[in-house]
Structure 1
Amino acid sequence: MNDAARTGCVDYRTPAREEGPALAAMARQCFVETFGHLYDSAELDPFLDQAYGPQGLLAELDDPQTEFRIAHRDEAVVGYAKLSPLCAPAAGAQPGALELRQIYVLAEWQGAGVAPALMEWAVARATARGAPELYLTVFDHNHRAKRFYARYGFSESGRCTFRMGSRVDDDRIWRKPLGA
């Protein structure tokens, strides 16, 4: 799909609970598109089932502390952002800090303005909720994502790990101060 065909055709909203399966399927697809080549399928498949299944993303839709924003075109989910209380092991985090736990955009929609719209929503919602700062974690070798986050005022503030089966990846914790 060319950029002209994508311009102005994406809508954004809070997902309804019944859209959970479509959102979870999109999240799985996006994770595999981005990171699937790094992992053995014997370890990847159980992770995907746990992260995006009934006890993972689908359960988070019912959590009043977690907010979602989806990007959709013709009722197909093409991206989403998930904002929650801080889960990352961020040293020195201020009380009330929030975390942008996921901002996913399908590969064919990257570069079409979906990620900026989702990021702007996340920052606005965190600010509206009175968060003093917003955190996220990012795979250390995901340079495209790190450049994107830096454009929005995030900077590296710590390290953590991401484990899938026997593989342990080095992630970075990034922080953006909010407010005055």
Structure 2
Amino acid sequence: MIIKKVFATDIDMLVSFSRKTFFDAFFHLNKPEDIEAYASVAFSTDKLLTEINNPDSAFYFALLDNEIVGYIKINYASAQTEFKDKNAVEVERIYVLSSAQGKQIGKQFLDFAEDLAKKDNLQYIWLGVWDNNHNAIRFYERHGFKAFSTHDFFLGDDHQTDLLMRKELK
């Protein structure tokens, strides 16, 4: 697997891939109108371009055989969705095509994020995960993350709860 930084010139692919993987992951668990309402904002070209151009955020694609099979979004300092902690990094998104799951891509993404955080001498990695996404919660627990809080998340009009999980690095 190759991990490649995403740039503004990759915006069309990021928009398309973000929407596809989000819909694939959550469409069967939520109302279509809530999924579309969220995706139309979160994965719009303008929103993703703003995020790509934020120096405290970074997107990376995972490539297998020159095909994009996943992506990760990492936030530092002021770009973090909750704490804005300069001693931490947030993994805001990890998505992998269903056809590429089971190939250790998620693990490699977490290892990559951890390596970046350690190079910057950060103290921990944190993320939010939907409390109904039991497979993802187990995945993060297997990789050393522990739940420490919750926060509200609105998917369209649907009020959901995310577990906040963290992994200490020091």
| TM-score normalized with structure 1 length | 0.84
Secondary structure (helix, strand or coil) at the match of 1:25 reads helix
The residue identity in structure 1 corresponding to 2:2 is: D
Specify which of 121, 127, 136 is matched with residue 112 of structure 2. Answer: 121
Q: Deviations over 1:9-47 (max 9, x none)?
A: x32211232112112211111111111123333332232
1:172 paired residue number = 163
Cα distance in structure 2, aligned partners of 1:31 and 1:141: 15
Question: How many residue pairs were aligned?
Answer: 168
Per the alignment, residue 61 of structure 2 pairs with 70
| Counterpart pick for 2:99 among 98, 108, 113 | 108
Alignment of 1:1-180 (within 5 A): 10-85=1-76, 87-89=80-82, 95-179=86-170
Q: TM-score scaled by structure 2?
A: 0.89
Percent identity between the aligned chains?
A: 27
CA displacement at 1:142 relative to structure 2:
1.0
* 2:4/2:62 contact within 8 Å kept: yes
How far off is 1:156 after superposition? Answer: 0.2
Q: Give 3-state SS (helix, strand or coil) of 1:147's partner.
A: helix
Of the structure 1 ranges 157-166 and 94-103, higher mean CA displacement relative to structure 2 is found in 94-103
- Work out the CA distance in 2 between the residues paired with 1:95 and 1:22: 30
Q: Which runs of 4+ in 1 moved over 4 A?
A: none
Match of 1:3 in 2: none
Structure of higher CA gyration radius: 1
Unmatched 5+ stretches in structure 1: 1-9
RMSD: 1.9
CA distance in 2, matches of 1:43, 1:152: 31
The corresponding residue for 1:4 is: none
Q: Structure 2: state its 5+ residue gaps.
A: none
